Chains A and B, each alone.
Chain A
Amino acid sequence: MAFEIDAKDLHYRELNKLIRKAIAEGHKHLVLKNVNGQRYIAAGVSAEVDIDIYGVPGLDLGAFMRGPRIRVHGNTQDGAGNTMDDGKIIVEGMAGDVVGYAMRGGKIFVASDVGYRVGIHMKAYMDKVPVIVIGGKAGDFLGEYMAGGVIILLGMYSRYPERPIAGIFLGTGMHGGVIYVREGVPETQLGAALQIEDLDEEDEKVLRKHLEEYCQDLGYNLEEILATKFVKIRPQTHRPYGKLYAY
């Protein structure tokens, strides 16, 4: 049975104490009600637990966490999944800036739009491959300095019809990992030393696998999403600035 915490008027320290206590007592499903702006929810938590959040969680939701599956029934603020190691964050609304900052594992699924610098400096190692899927549009600097992992950008479920699917400086300084964009993106939005390619079979498999899970979590139609072509953006070299100071 779900363990409920009323977060109304709780400071983030108290709220996180209650969360950690409940997990220590063996609860596997927490429901947080009336959350509004409390920072660092489930930050650093290393456990298999489901957390449902009602309201708007504050900055750095799930930072450094390893394992929890968080579902936000609404929007989330900046820095969700900061340096997260494992687990999942599902956002049923939009997410703010720097989502998945330096993320090194786990998944972040956002139903709608995200802000600026999402997936900045994500990295992968061996079987730890972080994944961010964005149903709406992204601001500037998506995947900036990206070193590994996967970002999938759909641009379908956005509240900003007038904006381009991704802002400018996409993938600036990117030297690893891959960004898949549905319907493609104008080259003017891209940072330097990147290439736009068609997907190969391996890509198609990866894409379908992640999107299947994404659709299951958020109730979207997989075939509708896959009905349109995707492109793949990756760095031309893993050391784009290797020769910058060598002369």
Chain B
Amino acid sequence: MEIFIPNKEQSGCGLSGIINRKGELIKGEVIIESICCQMERGNGLGAGYAAYGIYPEFAEYYCLHVMADTKQALKDVEEILAHKCYLVHQERIPTRATPGIVSPPRFWRYFVKPRYEGELREICEGTVDEDDYMVELVMFINKNISGAYVISSGRNMGAFKGVGFPDQIANFFRLEEYSAYIWTAHNRFPTNTPGWWGGAHPFTILDWSIVHNGEISSYGTNRRYLEMFGYHCTLLTDTEVVAYLLDLLIRRHGLPLELACMALAPPFWQEIDRMEEPDKSVCTAIRVVYGAAMLNGPFAILFAYNGGLVGLNDRVKLRPLVAAKKGDFYYMASEEAAIRAICPDPEEVWCPKAGEPVIVELEPNTIPNQRSYLRGEALRISAPICRFPSAEEDEEEE
């Protein structure tokens, strides 16, 4: 895959995300229109999308989207999958020739289950958790197979990304043929890291996907921290660490979503000094324990999982983020115009505070394998208003 080194001309990436809380499917055209409204925010060196709910017929299987330079690389991946997984279905990801998209790699998808039960238990001895097993497998492929990368690995979701403008990438992957209950999209303007197919956003692991505007100056620290837990960064772009941090903090360590967001964008010590107990102890503990997970530098991120969409800014808001809602639809984007392009009359539009996550989860029992990471009542430390379902809503439902 060709790697383009960017010049230092600065702009900002563009983000957009949509979720329907009732799990209603949203057509690909919608997210494409929204991200293309922010065309000026990218420079053609990367665009991508994450879509949730697109493989209902294989909802129980992990779907690996694999990007490969050569036939051989693809064969190597298939060989590993054949040994380590139950492979129920595989196919080429449909693409079409698109003007402006030059020498794309090969894209295939594989629907698999970890193969650790029955007589083949010994293959992955010691593994007790399917998700952990899949993370290990993805890391192994990305690290060891030259020229092949797993670009998404969740159930009933997938990432589509590459070098081009967002309209070109959408056309290339025929995204108008997909419908999803969560979409995120990215328009890239690489500044410090190369523009290449693997470096386009979203970055993913399992069903976590993240798109990012900004730069993570703590990349080195974060990366070394993640290596201690078996995550290996292979995609040459700072944003990759965020995907793995989410998996580590939220899925493996079991932090409530809001505390994980606090670890990524913690309050300043001077703010903590002014807090009352128990908030003060909670924030102090998070900063002390997860110092190496803190993201330094400017960022606005949108991340999603099978069950929710979250927007988060760095703690001094060095990148833009706007949120809006209408009925069961929630929108987040770099610019209000990107929301108005697909929802001209939102009921509410607001600008989240620095470091304050906007969390929107699906209603309970909406989709198969749904995950919820709210884990209890709202903390009210950093996110007093931006949580759906809110505490009040929970009470109503009870």
Interface residues of chain A, those whose CB is within 8 Å of chain B, are: 12, 36-37, 39, 55-56, 58-59, 75, 77-78, 94, 96-97, 113, 115-116, 139-141, 159-160, 162-163, 167-169, 188
Contacts and interface: CB of A to CB of B under 8 A. Distances in A.
B38 interface: yes
B332 to A, nearest CB: 15
8 contacts: A12-B40, A36-B341, A75-B349, A77-B335, A116-B316, A139-B351, A139-B354, A168-B268
Interface string B357-390: 0000000000000000000000000001100000
Given A36-B37, A97-B317, A115-B351, A162 B385 contact: yes
Contacts of B38: 37
Contacts, number: 65
B320 A159 contact: no
A39 B335 CA distance: 11
Contacts of A139: 317, 351, 353-354
Contacts of B167: none
Nearest to B341: A36
Closest 9 CB pairs of A and B: A37-B337, A116-B317, A36-B337, A56-B337, A162-B384, A56-B336, A37-B37, A115-B351, A36-B340
A146 B37 CA distance: 33
Contacts of B40: 12, 39, 58
B274 interface: yes
Interface string B324-343: 00000000000111101100
B146 to A, nearest CB: 42
A192 B341 CA distance: 42
Contacts of B354: 116, 139-140, 167
A78 B317 contact: no
A55 B335 CA distance: 13
Interface size grouping (class) on chain B? 20 to 34
Nearest to A95: B351
Contacts of A59: 335
B393 interface: no
A75 B38 CA distance: 17
B271 interface: yes
Nearest to B315: A140
A86 to B, nearest CB: 27
B350 interface: yes
A159 B317 contact: no
B316 A94 contact: no
Contacts of B340: 36-37, 55-56
A94 B351 contact: yes
A34 B317 CA distance: 29
A163 B353 contact: yes
A16 B320 CA distance: 24
A202 B77 CA distance: 76
Given A36-B337, A97-B320, A140-B317, A159 B274 contact: no
Which of B40, B322, B337 has most A Cβ within 10 Å? B337
Given A39-B40, A96-B322, A97-B320, 11 more contacts: A36-B37, A37-B37, A37-B337, A37-B340, A58-B335, A75-B349, A94-B349, A96-B320, A96-B351, A140-B316, A159-B350
Contacts of B341: 36-37
A188 B336 contact: no
Contacts of A56: 336-337, 340
Contacts of A163: 353
Nearest to A34: B344
A77 B271 CA distance: 28
Interface in B225-268: 268
A160 B37 contact: no
A188 B320 contact: no
Contacts of A113: 351
Contacts of A75: 336, 349
A188 B274 contact: yes
Contacts of A160: 350, 385
B388 to A, nearest CB: 16
Contacts of A12: 40
Contacts of A37: 37-38, 335-338, 340-341
